[in-house]
Amino acid sequence: MTNRIAAPLLDWYDRHHRSLPWRVSPPDRAHGVVNDPYRVWLSEIMLQQTTVPAVMAYFESFVRQWPTVAALAAAPTEEVMKAWAGLGYYSRARNLKACAEAIVRDHGGRFPDSEAGLRALPGIGPYTAAAIAAIAFDRPAAVVDGNIERVFTRLFEIATPLPAAKPDIRRHVADATPVTRPGDFAQGLMDLGTAICTPRRPACVLCPLATGCAARKSGRQEEFPVKAPKKAKPVRRGAAFIAVDADGGVLLVRRPDKGMLGGMSGVPTSNWTVRGDGETGVEAAPFPAEWTPAGTVSHVFTHFELRLDVFHADVAHRGNHPGWWSSPAEIGGEALPTLMKKAIAAALPGAFPPDRPASKPSKDKP
DNA sequence: TAATCGTGGGT
DNA sequence: TACCCAAGATT
């Protein structure tokens, strides 16, 4: 029997679920449509700390290029990094490729159907293992993401700050998870967290769980979840070097797998240090040239803010440097993180033409 | 446990 | 503007 959380939640989900490219909606499943573990896995990796609108185009692009896990496993890593460029948290892309290879190599091309089996794969942690087990394999796993943490800390007025409250939250979620439709239960909670039980100004009057919600009862719903205080972001500085050859090609290098923007492409840069005491300048250039200042690019990462001084130089002859020269026709398809595109655009406006859908509404003021 | 690891959108 | 936030994993 389903409890007093799952029953109203599933009823709400049947009526208000979102339609998403990686999701088999309740009516479709009633007609026998089955979840593809590959699509569930791919979407879950992309959705880690990333919004649904940001994921949409990337998901479509990936499944078009690589329709199966075997196809992804066989793909050149460089192509995967190019396809991931701009989505952020690039270790996800490296682990995605490693996971696909492991599934082909160690699991006969089939995803493990248990939480423990999934958890052992690269890039799959507690949340993702539970989500895939529940959504793709109908296992009653306790799925706990940021949405569900918010919903449950409110339902039970869990006042312990995150992340210390996680074990307590997980117990409550495990208790509430139904044996039937565990995947819809998890997805329903996430839809609820997105549409109703929002971080600010939750729409409690529309919530199917309102009558059983402790925080709603006391009017303190916006006080949950309690979170540990955040640390201040230090400012780091560095220099970036845009070398342009006679054909307009830009010198790019591949960044090491470890560290910021690992495994991605970029222009040569200095180290990014907390203090730019006049040392992080032209002396870090990849080779001697007439390096001309081309402005400063500011970029905010998760735990620091970066100010990159951009230098530009036109070179008559390609020297023997590490890296490669990317032509104007090629550079749009390179595995360049947003920061690197900003730096290049500072020296070469127009290097990345914005594709402008004619129907896109303008945010410009009249 | 705490730090590391991107980006874009909302308020 | 300056935060806050998003279907977290790894070390």
The 3 state secondary structure assigned to A27-93 is HHHHCCCCCCHHHHHHHHHHCCCCCHHHHHHHHHHHHHHCCCHHHHHHCCHHHHHHHHCCCCCCHHH
Which 3 state secondary structure label does DSSP give A283?
helix
Query: CA A149 to CA A186: how far, in whole Å?
Result: 12
A283 CA – C5 C1', rounded, Å = 39
Strand C, nucleotides < 7 Å from a protein CB: these are 4-10
CATH fold of A6-223, please?
Endonuclease III; domain 1 (1.10.340)
Among this protein's residues, is A44 annotated catalytic? yes
Strand B, nucleotides < 7 Å from a protein CB: these are 1-9, 11
Note the pLDDT of residue A273.
84
CA dihedral A10, A12, A17, A23 (to 10 degrees): 0
Check whether A356 has a pLDDT greater than 80: no
Which segments of chain A belong to CATH 3.90.79.10?
235-347
Q: Is-contact A40 A118, C-beta < 8 A?
A: no
3-state secondary structure A216-251: HHHCCHHHCCCECCCCCCCEEEEEEEEEECCCCCEE
A95 CA – C11 C1', rounded, Å = 15
State pLDDT tens for residues A296-314. 999 999 999 999 999 999 9
Q: How far is CA A148 from CA A51, A65, A171, A214, in A?
A: 15, 32, 12, 15
Q: Which of A156-160, A235-239, A353-357 has the lowest mean pLDDT?
A: A353-357
State pLDDT tens for residues A83-112. 999 999 999 999 999 999 999 999 999 999
Query: CA A192 to CA A184: how far, in whole Å?
Result: 12
Is the CB of A47 within 7 Å of strand C? yes
Check whether A336 has a pLDDT greater than 60: yes
- Per DSSP bridges, beta strands A235-244 and A305-314 are parallel
Strand C interface, A 79-138, C-beta < 7 A: 89, 91, 95, 122-129, 131
Question: pLDDT confidence of A357, banded at 50, 70, 90?
Answer: very low
Question: pLDDT confidence of A171, banded at 50, 70, 90?
Answer: very high
Percent of chain A at pLDDT exceeding 90: 90
Q: How far is CA A226 from CA A29, A153, A154, A188, A361, in A?
A: 37, 8, 10, 23, 37
Note the pLDDT of residue A277.
58
Note the pLDDT of residue A118.
98
DSSP, res A160: S
> Which residue places its CA closest to the C1' of nucleotide C10?
A123
Q: Which CATH class is domain A235-347?
A: alpha beta
Other CB atoms within a 10 A radius of the CB of residue A108 amount to 7
Note the pLDDT of residue A353.
85
A289 CA – C6 C1', rounded, Å = 43
Note the pLDDT of residue A281.
80
Note the pLDDT of residue A354.
76
A321 CA – C9 C1', rounded, Å = 35
Which segments of chain A belong to CATH 1.10.340.30?
6-223
Q: What mean pLDDT do residues A24-51 have? A: 96
Question: pLDDT confidence of A360, banded at 50, 70, 90?
Answer: very low
Mean pLDDT of chain A: 94
Query: CA A191 to CA A288: how far, in whole Å?
Result: 55
Q: What mean pLDDT do residues A201-226 have? A: 97
What is the CA A109 to chain-centroid distance, rounded? 25
Query: CA A37 to CA A277: how far, in whole Å?
Result: 52
Note the pLDDT of residue A3.
85
Query: CA A90 to CA A262: how far, in whole Å?
Result: 7
Percent of chain A at pLDDT exceeding 70: 95
Q: What mean pLDDT do residues A283-303 have? A: 95
Check whether A280 has a pLDDT greater than 70: no
